[in-house]
Chain A
Amino acid sequence: MTGNGQGNGRNDSVGTSYVKVDAWERVTGRAEYAADVRTPNALHAKVLRSPHPHAIIKSIDVSRAEQLSGVKAIITSKDFPSMDELKDSFGGELMVNARDLRRMVLADDKVLFDGHGVAAVAATSLEIAEAALDLITVEYEILPVINSTADALKPDAPLLHPDVYTKTLKETPDKPSNLASYVESGWGDVDKGFAEAAVIVERSFDSMMVHQGYLEPQACTARWDNEVCTVWTSTQGTFNGQRMVSTLLQVPLHQVNFVPTEIGGGFGGKIYTLVEPIAMLLARKAGRPVKFVMDRSEVFRATGPGSPQQSTVKVGARKDGTIVAAQGSLVMDAGAFPGAPVAGASMVTFGPYKMEHFKLEAYDVVTNKPRVQAYRAPGGTPAAFGVEVVMDEIAEKLGMDPLEFRKINAVSEGDPSTNGRPLPKVGLKEVLGQVEGSPHWNAPLEGENRGRGLALGFWNGAVAMSSATINVNVDGTVEVVSGHVDLTGTRTTMTQMAADMLQLPPERVSARVTDTASGTYTDVTGGSRTVYTQSQAIYNACESVLNEMKALAADQLKLNEDDIEYADGAFSAKGNPETTLSWDELAGRSRTRGNGPISGYGTSGRLKGAPAFAAHLADVEVDPDTGKVKILRYTCFQDVGKAINPAMVEGQIQGGAVQGLGWALSEYYHYEDGKLRNPTLLDYRMLTALDLPMIDTEIVEVPADDSPYGARGVGEVPIIPPAAAVESAIYRAVGVRMTQLPMTPERVFWALHDDGSEQ
């Protein structure tokens, strides 16, 4: 059975690599992204950003800037409504409370990171807006900088926030702290477990801040027409964004319309409204539309990067290879405001493994860096890095093949997940079986300084709310309308699924993403949830369409509804296929003879989770003279439940794996005393085509229990294993264990040439 079987294979639109429905616009340059939006009479915005990572704002003097010809509005945090009323928290992938979000957009009394916005200007040209920034005088009182979580947790550390008290399940502390929260999870008694272990490995790991690296910088245009504001923007969630600005600006939801443009990548980083409130406030003050486009250095300095982690992982196993105890501690850097991805990281850390005794502690710590946002499997990559490296080492100590060790300990249906609840049907064992039989695993790897590494990844998959409306036109063509922002193919998969469920050729279906004013609510596109939950919403909408069509057919054929059956575009009398009306004929009659237009609406919000597992294999060659690691061959194995569109599934897996490889090898925020030294795409090194081989994918399909096709989320798992797969390969190539990300040539070189202590 496929999932709950509801949408099962009605025609072959699902499971084929149907061409992306919006590809033509993209290859011709017609697709309209946020910075491409043109609005008559629009002003251009620029933001003045703090050069100091931590300072009190003593005064801001905008009077000279206001005098500059062409300047139409200037705002500071004082232009937001008073903050006492801003208590809401917002979801998306990482929660943030409204007051913190507001202070992320423009600093209040204090700047908390290099690049923190202080004031914003709207002017008739970008040049004038830039010149105006130079005329604003800000008086700062510089404060000591908290560079790292280690700095932040020192007993005498200066506090970022006098009102942050550590949240725990235990009693509330009486003093404020840079430790915003502490979470513990697990079961059993790890000390007892370790006492029974034949082999124990314990190591500490470190990683640095990284960026999602979406190629399109944040951008938006805001226009007020009387009381109503239209915002064209690049966002992963229009309804989520609409709610954030509505709260921040105290404007009711029906007076804000978020219009999603094409989005040039998000990866979790385009959920918070970091640009929209600025454009909206400036536009309201100036009485003209305002366009605000971030430049790349602003994207690096002042959006929400991915959280770095310091972790310690300890695992004990019996002689037979079973894991008896696993323990971890994750110290996570949230940046300037509380909210590191503690939950995600805790969930994935030991996710693939059965453990008798298990304990995990996670810390959410504030530092003088931009507040992190979600980044593809938030928290997962650095957490899994430590775990998988330790698992590799344990296998080695036991004299066991790393795949064999994984097979012994792999979780399956009914085993407790890291949150304690039993896992639904999952495909980890099948993934490992696929590895075992694969050409890559079985190909010999020869040559000096070469090695092969294996690592696993797990992501639980979010669920949340989705919805869709399906309208039948009088010519029988079909429109799917949804508020789900299309990041990497939502319109295409919606087209395929609706075509399958309605048993129509996909060419007769089109799918559109609507604005908040004309579509119904959906949560953000993210968390590897979109196809999964949207499939159920589409199914429900299609059911309702089919019911209406059947009612009309019954009426026209003078039969009972129960006597009508539908197949392949025709409504016929049961047992009498001669009495029939085609889909198109019936659609045509709907205008004049039915109860009104045929339209179905479907929602979904109560699916079970659909956890996904992956294994990656990396072959590398290490140059001992330079420390450079070259990826020779790379294969991703992943249980996707059901590949609605195999080519797009492969593409998402390949892209995720390569982001993970960038995190493994070259990407990091280079801070010196709180100042970001590499806010360019030259010095922040994302991998290029030249750094990589082809990325092979092997898709495994173990359908999830729930949803019409049993499709599991694909997007996030592939970023989790690469760092550890590469590390294990490096170890096998040259015999050194790397414990810091990224594993740059310098670090590998020093690991090889020094006494092993990394620089």
Chain B
Amino acid sequence: MKVPVRFSVNGDDRDLYIGAHKTLMEVLRDDLELTGTKEGCGNGNCGACTINLDGKAVNACLILGVEADGHEVQTIEGVSEDGTLHPLQQAFIEESALQCGFCTPGFIMSAKVFLEQNPSPSEQEIRTAIAGNLCRCTGYDKIVRAIQAAAKLA
């Protein structure tokens, strides 16, 4: 069964007919071809699919596409503005906070929402904020440093 939904994605209103059982992650990746949102587990345990929904960081694999109806979604594709990287994106590059990069969009989405709420966090607060995001390559050290650096930049 398909149902009509309307929500804003990275600033654009989108009208879609989507399968009622589809997760928001599937809608973003398959219907909207926004493949920057990654699937690492499909059940809320890795954070690779983290997006911004009305200013909150959520796992897009844990909500249905229909639940986004009437809401505002931002994905990694919407983070840089007019070709200028967001300070977090810049900091992830400069601090070498990525290796394979599969986890990177999720970390940046989590960290962005977090820094909006807590602009000058402690190391421990950063670690708590990203505890829902797994990275298997970096050991988190450089990711924490990148978030610290971005907090200073902003």
Interface residues of A (CB under 8 A from B): 17, 19-20, 22-33, 35-36, 38, 127, 212-217, 262-265, 267, 293, 295-296, 487-489, 647-648, 650-652, 654-659, 680-682, 686, 688-690, 692, 694-695
Contacts and interface: CB of A to CB of B under 8 A. Distances in A.
B136 A659 contact: yes
A487 to B, nearest CB: 7
Contacts of B42: 295-296
A680 B94 CA distance: 33
Contacts of A659: 136, 139
A214 B100 CA distance: 9
A681 B134 contact: yes
14 contacts: A20-B93, A24-B93, A25-B101, A27-B89, A28-B85, A29-B37, A29-B77, A33-B102, A264-B102, A265-B136, A488-B99, A689-B127, A692-B141, A695-B139
B41 A680 contact: yes
A38 B35 CA distance: 10
Interface in B67-117: 75-77, 79-80, 85, 88-89, 92-96, 98-105, 108
Given A29-B35, A688-B134, 4 more contacts: A20-B96, A30-B36, A216-B40, A655-B135
Contact of A690 (B34, B131, B138, B142): B131
Contacts of A265: 99-100, 102, 136-137
A25 B93 CA distance: 10
A688 B131 contact: yes
A608 B137 CA distance: 28
Given A488-B137, A682-B45, A215 B100 contact: yes
Given A29-B76, A655-B137, A682-B43, A215 B48 contact: yes
Interface of B: 19, 21, 29, 33-46, 48, 75-77, 79-80, 85, 88-89, 92-96, 98-105, 108, 123, 126-128, 130-145
Contacts of A688: 130-134, 140
B126 to A, nearest CB: 8
B40 A296 contact: yes
B102 A216 contact: yes
A649 to B, nearest CB: 10
Contacts of B141: 651, 654, 692, 694-695
Contact of B138 (A23, A30, A654, A680): A654
B46 A215 contact: yes
Please give me the 9 A-B residue pairs with the lowest Cβ-Cβ distance, nearest first. Answer: A29-B36, A264-B102, A26-B101, A658-B139, A29-B76, A654-B139, A681-B45, A36-B35, A27-B89
B92 A23 contact: yes
A686 B132 CA distance: 11
Contact of A651 (B35, B102, B132, B138): B138
Given A651-B96, A680-B41, A686 B134 contact: yes
B75 A216 contact: no
Contact of B80 (A28, A36, A652): A28
A250 B43 CA distance: 38
Nearest to A295: B42
Interface of B is mostly: loop
A680 B142 CA distance: 26
B134 A215 contact: yes
B131 A689 contact: yes
A756 to B, nearest CB: 32
B46 A29 contact: no
Q: A264, A647, A681, A689 — which one has the most chain B CB atoms within 10 A of its CB?
A: A689
Contacts of A488: 99-100, 137
A215 B128 contact: no
A26 B137 contact: no
A267 B100 CA distance: 11
A217 B140 CA distance: 20
A759 B131 CA distance: 29
Contacts of A657: 139
Given A36-B35, A681-B134, A216 B140 contact: no
B143 A689 contact: yes
Nearest to B22: A127
A29 B40 CA distance: 14
Contact of A652 (B21, B79, B99, B127): B99
B40 A655 contact: no
B128 A690 contact: yes
A31 B40 contact: no
Contacts of A212: 136
A695 B98 CA distance: 15
B21 to A, nearest CB: 8
Nearest to A696: B141
Given A487-B100, A689-B127, A23 B137 contact: no
A27 B80 CA distance: 9
Contact of A27 (B48, B108, B128): B108
Contacts of B135: 215, 655, 689
Contacts of B133: 688-689
A264 B43 CA distance: 18
A263 B101 CA distance: 9
Contacts of A19: 93-94, 96
Contacts of A33: 35, 38, 102
Given A30-B36, A689-B127, A689-B140, A681 B41 contact: yes
Nearest to A24: B93
B73 to A, nearest CB: 14
Contact of A264 (B85, B101, B127): B101
B122 to A, nearest CB: 13
Contacts of A647: 95-96, 142
B51 to A, nearest CB: 11
A681 B100 CA distance: 19
Contacts of A36: 29, 35
B142 A681 contact: no
B38 A264 contact: yes
B38 to A, nearest CB: 7
A27 B21 CA distance: 30
Contact of B105 (A24, A29, A487, A654): A29
A28 B77 contact: yes
B133 to A, nearest CB: 8
Q: B130, B138, B144 — which one has the most chain A CB atoms within 10 A of its CB?
A: B138
A513 B82 CA distance: 29
B107 to A, nearest CB: 9
A681 B39 CA distance: 12
A565 B136 CA distance: 47
Contacts of A650: 96, 142
A215 B96 contact: no
Contacts of A29: 34-37, 75-77, 105
A661 to B, nearest CB: 8
Nearest to A492: B96
Contact of A214 (B76, B92, B136): B136
A651 B40 CA distance: 21
